[in-house]
Amino acid sequence: MSTPMPATAKPIHHVLLGVTGGIAAYKSAILVRRLKDAGFDVRVVMTTGAQAFVTPLTFQALSGEPVHTSLLDADAEAGMGHIELARWADLVLVAPASANALARIAAGMADDLLATLILATEAPVLVAPAMNQQMWANVMTQRNLQTLRDYGVQVIAPGAGSQACGEVGEGRMPEPEDLVRVIQHYAQTRTLPQAAVPRPQILAGKHVVITAGPTREALDPVRYVSNHSSGKMGFALAEACLDAGAQVTLIAGPVNLPTPAGATRVNIVSARDLLSVSERIVEAGCDVFIATAAVADYRAEQVADQKIKKQGDTLTIHLVKNPDIVATIARHPKRPFMVGFAAETQHMETYAQGKLESKLLDMIACNDVSRSDIGFASDDNAMTVFFSDQVGLEKVVLPKANKHEIANQLVECLVKAGA
């Protein structure tokens, strides 16, 4: 149910659309039409950069109104057009809002029409950022966004996916139809819908390595030893870390899950594959290593060259211990912040705390996989998080929730722990 609009809020009929320089400016032309279809009156202000992508004539034809491009326009209300526009607006929407525009607005500059009218208006201001994914994640951009929020500007979350520059990640301007729904929701409630609120980039500048899924230890060309891990928790964590601004490398065992947009995926099969890839990536440099993979503890001492034929009522296979990937990485000369997982069926907290100490971890998240409603193959989970003495935090209990929500909470735990 939508929150009712505050009784003192002015109804929103007039939308002043600010268009700044960026390839996403073509979407703004469609946005004008969609806003008018939704019943809003729309006027458009374009920066010099925006005019390099779309002509003012396009917006004039779609809005039915003159397009404003100049701060010092002698024909507009005796040269005070920015004041007239600032008074006319019930809402100012900047879409696309380039990194440059965000920086200039955050700095309170008033050297072009759009920046000046934002200073002069009493109307609420919303910005829809659109830029390269690395520019979006940059700490300076995030600082400018926080400054804007502190000033009362509402920030609409960008989308993720393929970008015009060829890269993949967050920074895409939302589709016009989605922006119209955001504006309609805001007009009714004076709040953004939850899905339109960007997550703080609390892992910006960090390289996070995540292992996920099971390993398979071959017995012969057709058989193997493995476990029931689906990889869902690790993949949810990859998405949460990406949403928080991290560069993510996902080392995945044999699972049938799509790669989160923006993550670098490396597929492995066995525990020794996983260790080799992990050591190579850690040697190259990373900040956080999250080990959610369910690694087989043992492998066959000898792998048969041909399929083992059925012979007699029993079969003896000699198993040898696999390398301890987490403990090995925790002792690496370039050791990152170490996060382990413990999937237990009994004495969960005791075993988890033992692993935390024996494997030299900074943080461990444990869950009870004997429960039928969480854990392997389930979309839900519940966890208890413990921290090393060096971190110095009390344990955190994460009640049952969707694995994506659990992942977001684990990212917050990471940051609190100093990762």
Residues acting as catalytic residues:
165
Q: Which two tokens stand for residue 394?
A: 């009390």
Q: Among all chains, which residue has been given the structure tokens 């920074």?
A: 171
**Which parts of 260-414 are beta strand (E)?**
264-267, 288-291, 298-300, 319-321, 337-344, 363-368, 380-387, 396-402
Local structure of residue 214 (DSSP, 8 states):
B
CA distances 215 to 226, 320, 339, Å, are: 6, 15, 19
Local structure of residue 251 (DSSP, 8 states):
E
Q: Which two tokens stand for residue 349?
A: 């907290």
Integer Cα distance of 58 and 88 in angstroms: 22
Integer Cα distance of 97 and 21 in angstroms: 8
Residue type for position 236: A
Assign 3-class secondary structure to 364-402: EEEEECCCCCCCCCCCEEEEEEEECCCCCCCCEEEEEEE
Between the two ends of the chain, the Cα-to-Cα distance in Å is 38
**249 contacts 208 by C-beta, under 8 angstroms:** yes
CA distances 253 to 113, 235, 302, 379, 404, Å, are: 54, 11, 22, 18, 19
